Amino acid sequence: MAAEVKKEIQLEIAHVLFIDIVGYSKLLINEQSEQMQKLREIVRGTEQFRLAEAEGKLLRLPTGDGGALVFRTSPEAPVLCALEISKELKKHPELRVRMGIHSGPVNEITDLNEQANIAGAGINVAQRVMDCGDSGHILLSKHVADDLEQYRQWQPCLHDLGECEVKHGARVHAFNLYTDGIGNPEVPEKFRQAKEKEQTVPAVSTAAVKPAAPSRAWIVALVIAAAAVAGLYIFSHRSAPTTPPSATAPAPVAIPEKSIAVLPFENLSEEKANAYFADGVQDEILTNLARIADLKVISRTSVMQYKGGNAT
């Protein structure tokens, strides 16, 4: 039985363009039909669609309020197709469309109607990326953006948006693609909300609260407080000698009154590959503390001897 399943599921890497009509469910029935018909005409009229279909390297997946085009050619194919669609949509302002692009594994399946269909992570991620956009946006997954950044002609068109949370708590890292009046240069609403949420640091409260997953702002605030206390404690004790200095010993170097050290952090998780995250937290704290006037921040090199708690 396992051997039969392996034969049926044949994964391949495809390049997916997911298209969606914004506000489709709010349209009247006849408006839905008219807009879907117009969108089909625009999509089928693009050069990339015609070329891929002629070569037998294009699969189409209807989704009700849009559709997905699965290219088996190159990562550029869905991007070029999206630009063609966006350019043509300028003539139809009533047609509000957003698009998402991702390259990933897909496999052909047979649906309930006994028709050939497409499934897989390539389709799912492309839809999640698209869901982060608003009308007019062409959003790319980080995977696709990394591929395109290797070519000079694409670099000016790619704009990093960071991460966005989608359904079921999943997060996707997306880039906004726009150039010469094609695409939507505005930051999508979901990314604006996420950025505002990250910048909001809640006030520290002594009231009991339910255990919850800490936000990034909470983690940074707690780490800064812990680093400040630990750094001041260590360096204040080092500045005070336990025995009187001898006449021949050099005088101890005075430590500035307003000084702080951020000691190295340890990765206590089971995932040892995440050790870089601990170093990144220390770097971020040092960078932010260095902006405070009249505060001497001890360099990272000076405190590396304390990493692992082995220093004496």
Q: Which domains does the chain have, with CATH numbers?
A: 9-189 (3.30.70.1230), 216-237+253-309 (no CATH)
Dist. CA 175–CA 143, nearest whole Å: 10
Provide the percentage of residues in the chain whose pLDDT is more than 70: 65
Q: What is the pLDDT of residue 142?
A: 96
Query: Structure tokens of 104?
Result: 């990933």
Q: What is the pLDDT of residue 114?
A: 67
Lowest-confidence segment of 27-41, 153-167, 255-269 by average pLDDT:
255-269
Sign of the alpha-carbon torsion through 148, 74, 119, 17? positive
Dist. CA 90–CA 184, nearest whole Å: 11
Q: What is the pLDDT of residues 248-275, one digit of tens each?
A: 555 555 555 677 887 877 777 666 555 6
Dist. CA 143–CA 140, nearest whole Å: 8
Q: What is the pLDDT of residues 171-217, one digit of tens each?
A: 899 999 999 889 999 999 999 988 887 777 554 444 444 444 445 55
**pLDDT value at 2 more than 50:** no
Residues 6+ apart with CB under 8 A from 218: 201, 202
The single-letter code of the amino acid at 34 is: E
- Residue 152 or residue 169, greater confidence: 152
CB neighbour class for 35 (10 Å; exposed up to 12, middle 13-18, buried from 19): buried
Residues 6+ apart with CB under 8 A from 207: none
Query: Structure tokens of 287?
Result: 């960078």
What is the arithmetic mean of pLDDT over 142-152? 95
Q: CA triplet 186, 191, 196: central angle to 5 degrees?
A: 110
- 62: confidence class by pLDDT, cuts 50, 70, 90: confident
Average pLDDT over the chain reads: 79
pTM above the 0.85 mark?
A: no
Within 10 angstroms of residue 17's Cβ, the number of other Cβ atoms is 26
Dist. CA 34–CA 53, nearest whole Å: 24
